[in-house]
Chain A
Amino acid sequence: MSFLELNKVTKIYPNGTKAVHETSMNVENGEFMVFVGPSGCGKSTLLRMIAGLEDITEGYINLDGILINKVDPSDRDVAMVFQNYALYPHMNVYNNLAYGLKNRGISKEDIEKKVNEAAKLLQISEYLQRKPSMLSGGQRQRVAMGRAIVRNPKIFLFDEPLSNLDAKLRIQMRLEIKKLQQKVGVTSIFVTHDQVEAMTLADRLAVINNGLIEQLGTPIEIYNNPKSMFVAGFIGSPQMNFLEGELINKTLTSEGFEINNVTSDFNGPVILGIRPEHMSQTDKGLINLSVDLVEQLGSDNLIYGEIKNKKDFCFRCPGSQIIKKGSKLSLNINDNNYYVFDKSNGNRVN
């Protein structure tokens, strides 16, 4: 039996909107699970059902062997970090951390010990007497984490906690969250719409779309082996290129080139997916790209151009290569790293 079990969990709002459809998954003890998906896909609702902030319409959730469908949020022993931190504005940092412990009837000495430990771990010891309004974004973030850690809960829930921070701090906090989770070893669920966050943080990743889990797996599994066009387009940056085409008798025709010996028995209209980083320049390649725009990122160059009818086709090459606007490139796909999807439903067919 897994640490956290979701079995056919469904959420239907009173107005009839179905936010989560019969979702089942298991999260193991100590695992870092990330829910990723576009906004409105139901990932936050799913998290809030685990926290007990939303009722479960159908299905059941088991945490540590206990059915928690009807358990009050305060008795579930879960801790949550909110997007806007939800720090208690009228209490200083110490009391913010101590409040949950006080409500659990823990003795004053123990509270002080635990708060100081957590503060030390998060390097907020100097700010314990300050009010949240006197802290910077990063410090507030740490206090919010501290409030979760100090209670030593069964599970951490993160609801897009990094989206209020600036880019640099976000990367730094991302790293810290990952390190902290490894150090404390608490089972965690992290909700985000940022695929880079998802890839870097997750032990396992659940890509959610329209209230359904599209794919569940380790980040690299999902990157290498997306099961659907949605997952393929969502994971990976810059986004995968999609080209329309036709697959007949293992031969794929698309935008002026052909790929033979496709490992698929599918026949009909398809979408061909190629990641920008899975191509390289050759003398006589499959794809002829006329360059419209070059983004130089230093380490890499992102080349955008046109191939036959497809605009904004992206190709990624090392930053040392100098490519000028208006030039023509000939590209090959490396090691048959391409994906073929059924055009009608977006499912992977190769």
Chain B
Amino acid sequence: MKIKFSQILAHIVLILGVLLMVIPIWLSFASSTHDTVTILKEGMQFGLGDQLTRNYNEVLNEKGGWSEEVTAAKMFINSFIMALGIATLKVIISAMSAYALVYFRFKFAVPIFWLIFITLLVPLEVRIFPSYKIVSDLGLTNSYTGLVLPLVASATATFFFRQFYKTIPDELLESAKLDGANSWRFFIDFLVPLSKTMIAAMFIFMFVYGYSQYLWPLIMTTSEEYWTVVMGMKIIFTESYEGVALPRTAERFAYIILSMIPPVLVVVFLQKWFIKGLIQTEK
């Protein structure tokens, strides 16, 4: 069997890409198995150390924060709830609004769509003060609702769903109508199953988006009970040494590794749907 040069080249590029992705993760993991002193003295570690159990135990069980009440596990749960809420609601709301835009031929559907689309130019960071004002007036600071609600509208997902629905032939709707499906049934029985790979993709993107939110939870929460992973990364595992706050680097690495697990799980779980959708061409 002759191997082509272009194939070898492609593989080299791919392998380089993989290394680029994997090496930082490995570095973090390897470093998380040493103690802080080693890391501070010698920098990040390539080889495995002997502190794995101790560091991870510490991270999972130690209470941190100003009041020493919040644990890393609690922050993982908070982030998970926030990301799950954002992703689920974003997908549902976008799919439904795209459905309205495409199938209910009301006046000004196109201008309304562009109005939604323009909000892409106004991310949360730009409107963070008015958003905070609204949420706090509603009394939703320090609550999961407050964490999730201002982030549930999504122009991107609405756009993708709209484009997808537009590719579905009109005959399908007409045929479903003659078969006695009302608009709700058509959405549930046709659009949702037909766009399930799309839903999975959107869910992954939006989950990761929600999981990595930093600024909004930082402003929103005063109670440590609602702290999220990304916030915690900066705050916990600090040690006071002669009046100077020093980071406990080894534990932080362990924390980083742990914090990667939920989004990775979501991707791994939903990937099945992805691949399924790729293999069965259903159109």
Q: Is the CB of A89 within 8 A of B282?
A: yes
In the bound complex, what is the Cα–Cα distance between A295 and B181 (angstroms)? 52
Q: Is the CB of B282 within 8 A of A84?
A: no
Chain A interface (Cβ < 8 Å from any Cβ of B) = 51-53, 72-74, 78-80, 82-84, 86, 88-90, 99-100, 103-104, 131, 133, 147, 151
Interface string of B174-209 (1 = CB under 8 A from A): 111111111001000110011000000000000000
Query: Which A residues are CB-close (under 8 A) to B2?
Result: none
Query: Which A residues are CB-close (under 8 A) to B281?
Result: 133
In the bound complex, what is the Cα–Cα distance between A302 and B174 (angstroms)? 44
Query: Which A residues are CB-close (under 8 A) to B194?
Result: 89-90
In the bound complex, what is the Cα–Cα distance between A78 and B190 (angstroms)? 21
Query: Which B residues are CB-close (under 8 A) to A89?
Result: 194, 282-283
Interface size on B, residues (CB 8 A): 21
Q: How far is the CB of B223 from chain A (nearest CB, A)?
A: 46
In the bound complex, what is the Cα–Cα distance between A52 and B179 (angstroms)? 12
Query: Which A residues are CB-close (under 8 A) to B190?
Result: 88, 90
Residue of B nearest to A75 (CB): B180
Q: How far is the CB of A256 from chain B (nearest CB, A)?
A: 53
If A86-B175, A90-B194 are given as contacts, then 17 extra A-B residue pairs at C-beta distance below 8 Å, sorted by A number, are A51-B178, A72-B177, A73-B174, A82-B175, A84-B169, A86-B169, A86-B172, A86-B174, A90-B282, A100-B179, A103-B180, A103-B185, A131-B282, A133-B280, A133-B281, A133-B283, A151-B179
Q: Which of B139-190 contact A (CB under 8 A)?
A: 169, 171-172, 174-182, 185, 189-190
In the bound complex, what is the Cα–Cα distance between A154 and B256 (angstroms)? 67
Query: Which A residues are CB-close (under 8 A) to B280?
Result: 131, 133
Query: Which B residues are CB-close (under 8 A) to A100?
Result: 178-180
Q: Is the CB of A80 within 8 A of B174?
A: yes
Q: List 7 tightest A-B contacts by C-beta distance, closest first.
A: A103-B180, A86-B171, A100-B179, A86-B175, A74-B180, A89-B282, A90-B193
Q: Is the CB of B179 within 8 A of A99?
A: yes
Q: Is the CB of A133 within 8 A of B282?
A: yes
Query: Which B residues are CB-close (under 8 A) to A133?
Result: 280-283
Query: Which B residues are CB-close (under 8 A) to A80?
Result: 174-175, 178
In the bound complex, what is the Cα–Cα distance between A61 and B208 (angstroms)? 56
Cβ-defined partner of B178 (8 Å) among A74, A83, A131: A74
Query: Which B residues are CB-close (under 8 A) to A131?
Result: 280, 282
Cβ-defined partner of A74 (8 Å) among B169, B181, B193, B283: B181
Q: Is the CB of B178 within 8 A of A88?
A: no
In the bound complex, what is the Cα–Cα distance between A82 and B194 (angstroms)? 20
Cβ-defined partner of A103 (8 Å) among B181, B193, B283: B181
In the bound complex, what is the Cα–Cα distance between A78 and B180 (angstroms)? 10
In the bound complex, what is the Cα–Cα distance between A321 and B93 (angstroms)? 74
Q: Which of B229-250 contact A (CB under 8 A)?
A: none
In the bound complex, what is the Cα–Cα distance between A86 and B181 (angstroms)? 14
In the bound complex, what is the Cα–Cα distance between A339 and B177 (angstroms)? 46
Q: How far is the CB of A75 from chain B (nearest CB, A)?
A: 8
In the bound complex, what is the Cα–Cα distance between A84 and B190 (angstroms)? 17
Q: Is the CB of B179 within 8 A of A103?
A: yes
Query: Which A residues are CB-close (under 8 A) to B175?
Result: 80, 82, 86, 88, 147
Query: Which B residues are CB-close (under 8 A) to A74?
Result: 177-182
Residue of A nearest to B185 (CB): A103
In the bound complex, what is the Cα–Cα distance between A83 and B281 (angstroms)? 21
Q: Is the CB of A82 within 8 A of B174?
A: yes
Q: How far is the CB of A47 from chain B (nearest CB, A)?
A: 12
Q: Is the CB of A73 within 8 A of B193?
A: no
Residue of B nearest to A100 (CB): B179
Q: How far is the CB of B189 from chain A (nearest CB, A)?
A: 7
In the bound complex, what is the Cα–Cα distance between A131 and B8 (angstroms)? 39
